[in-house]
Structure 1
Amino acid sequence: MGSGHSHSHDHGHGHAHAPADFGNAFLIGIILNTGFVIVEAVYGWISGSMALLADAGHNLSDVLALVLAWTASIAAERPPSERFTYGFKSSTILAALANAGLLLVAIGAILFETLHRIAEPAPVQGDTMAIVAGIGILINAGTAALFMRGQHDINIRGAFLHMAADALVSLGVVIAGLAIIWTGERWIDPVVSLVIVLVIAWGTWGLLKDSVAMSLLAVPKGISEAGVRAYLSARPGVEAVHSLHIWPMSTTETALTAHLVMPGGHPGDDVLREIQRDLDHHHRIGHATIQIERSHPDKACC
């Protein structure tokens, strides 16, 4: 059987790599939030506020998430080797999955103590809650602003959502502290803590779902397998498309392999480069491998 094989890879276009652009953002976020976790935990203990302690636990998980995301994104920049021919690009996917796991652990620990406090409300210093949480709004909102761009990367998006949610949670704690000052009701603190848990769980579900899908090599969000297949099938001389696979190499890069049945033979390198450019520019697939076949495998002679 006569067949032509061609592998077209794109290394000329710029792909979004989080570490180079967000190294300082990660570092600033880690330093600020580590300091705040310590302050919040200490004053949460002093004031007896479960809401502050819950928020401190959440912020701690976010610090660990930032560390993991930063470490993984740096590892993703390492060049390929004989054993790891893709380098360590997929470490960013593992980091996203690990971050989701950390959040689940935080949810369980906070929920356990929150339910205990709901059953047995404890005295709480509302003024301390409001002041410390107010500082948290500034720190978390400032950190979130560092990650506003780069939403195409699940790690950057996760960092932004975590920090933005933390700012909203801190706002809730401020409101709870003021409500306790005005009413003196103890139940307000654990109820706000429960709301915090629900907010964390909502954000965690999305991150967990996306990171698991990437780990299972699902077609990345925003890329249509049907659209890619239709584009390849519509190319002049293409009779059929089979063995089409699209998967994430990292949280920002996508790869593709496909077999094109072209009875007229190999169309030439220029045509393959055009296909590769179209896949990159219109479908966000930067690493494409195309194999040309003269006949479909089912029709091939032995």
Structure 2
Amino acid sequence: MGAGHSHSHDHGHGHSHAPADFGNAFLIGIILNTAFVIVEAAYGWISGSMALIADAGHNLSDVLALLLAWGASVAARRPACERFTYGFKSSTILAALANAGLLLVAIGAILFETLHRMAEPAPVQGETMAIVAGIGILVNAGTAALFLRGQHDINIRGAFLHMAADALVSLGVVIAGLAIIWTGERWIDPAVSLVIVAVIGWGTWGLLKDSVAMSMLGVPKGISENKVRAYLSGLPGVDAVHDLHIWPMSTTETALTAHLVMPAGHPGDGFLRQLAGELDRHHRIGHPTIQIETSRAACGTGC
């Protein structure tokens, strides 16, 4: 049996999906939202609005999420070393998972207090609710705009979705404040808090599901294992494909290893360069490693 182990990323490897630098966006977002959390929580306490306090709690979790995502994006740029030969790219996956956990904690805390307020509604200053939440719309929408690009990164997408959802939640609080002014009904405030919890829960489920799948080395969303296998199987001279593995190195970069059975022998570096380019362009896989084998005996029952 003849076999050649070829690292195709040495021949045309691209970094087109490396994390973009969002350092300024993270810094601005953290400063704006931290200031707003303090203001919103204070006025929520003064006005007696559980909706404002719930939204402040959500915004606080988003500040922590931004800090985690920023730290992970910085770590991902650190070079590889003797112990961490892939570098620290996977820290972005850990940050996404931690962010989902933070949101679950925030949901639990807000839900507990909201149910208490549902049982014993307290007087609320609707005017204060509407004004503070109106400021929140501007802060959250402005922060979301900072992360509008870079949606292929789950951390950046998470930051954008959090801020966009916060803007919508703040709009809901404005409407609730106006409704309280017009009707004087106390139940409106905790009812809006429940809606906020539902919105947070919906976004958290998607983030949790994606981050857990990545941490389990699942094939990243948007990449089809069947299509990649079909592409490799259809290459000239390839008789079989086995031991195909596709996994996320980070929230933006994907790796692949595969064994190609090519009875005619190793096709040369040009073949590997073309293969790497096609995987990067059409399947968003930038780190392929290919092993060439000349006999099916190497794959046993796997091909």
Detail structure 1 runs of 4+ shifted over 3 Å in the superposition: 16-19
1:12: Cα distance to partner?
A: 4.8
Alignment correspondent of 2:15: 14
The reply to whether residue 169 of structure 1 matches residue 155 of structure 2 is: no
User: How far, CA to CA, are the matches of 1:291 and 1:298 in structure 2?
Assistant: 12
CA RMSD in angstroms comes to 1.2
TM-score when normalising by structure 2: 0.97
- For residues 187 and 212 of structure 1, do their structure 2 counterparts lie closer, same or farther at Cα, with a shift above 3 Å needed? same
Percent identical: 83
1:278: Cα distance to partner?
A: 0.6
The residue type paired with residue 218 of structure 2 is A
Alignment correspondent of 1:194: 194
Q: How many residues align?
A: 299
TM-score when normalising by structure 1: 0.97
Paired residue secondary structure (2:243): strand
Alignment correspondent of 2:221: 221
Alignment correspondent of 2:117: 117
Alignment correspondent of 2:142: 142
User: How far, CA to CA, are the matches of 2:43 and 2:172 in structure 1?
Assistant: 17
Alignment correspondent of 2:43: 43
Contact 2:237 2:264 in 1 (8 A): yes
Contact 1:8 1:273 in 2 (8 A): yes
1:8: Cα distance to partner?
A: 1.2
Contact 2:13 2:276 in 1 (8 A): no
1:15: Cα distance to partner?
A: 2.6
The residue type paired with residue 89 of structure 1 is K
1:6: Cα distance to partner?
A: 1.2
Contact 2:32 2:139 in 1 (8 A): yes
Alignment correspondent of 2:289: 289
User: How far, CA to CA, are the matches of 2:277 and 2:17 in structure 1?
Assistant: 16
User: How far, CA to CA, are the matches of 2:216 and 2:255 in structure 1?
Assistant: 14
User: How far, CA to CA, are the matches of 1:43 and 1:61 in structure 2?
Assistant: 18
1:273: Cα distance to partner?
A: 1.0
User: How far, CA to CA, are the matches of 1:54 and 1:108 in structure 2?
Assistant: 11
User: How far, CA to CA, are the matches of 1:222 and 1:128 in structure 2?
Assistant: 44
Contact 1:40 1:132 in 2 (8 A): yes
Alignment correspondent of 2:267: 267
User: What pairs up with 1:43-62 in 2 under 5 angstroms?
Assistant: 43-62=43-62
Contact 1:19 1:70 in 2 (8 A): no
Unmatched segments (≥5 aa) in structure 1 = none
1:16: Cα distance to partner?
A: 3.2
User: How far, CA to CA, are the matches of 1:2 and 1:169 in structure 2?
Assistant: 62
Alignment correspondent of 2:258: 258
Q: What do residues 210-253 of structure 1 show as CA deviations (whole Å, max 9, x unaligned)?
A: 00000001101111101010011011111100000000000000
The residue type paired with residue 164 of structure 2 is A
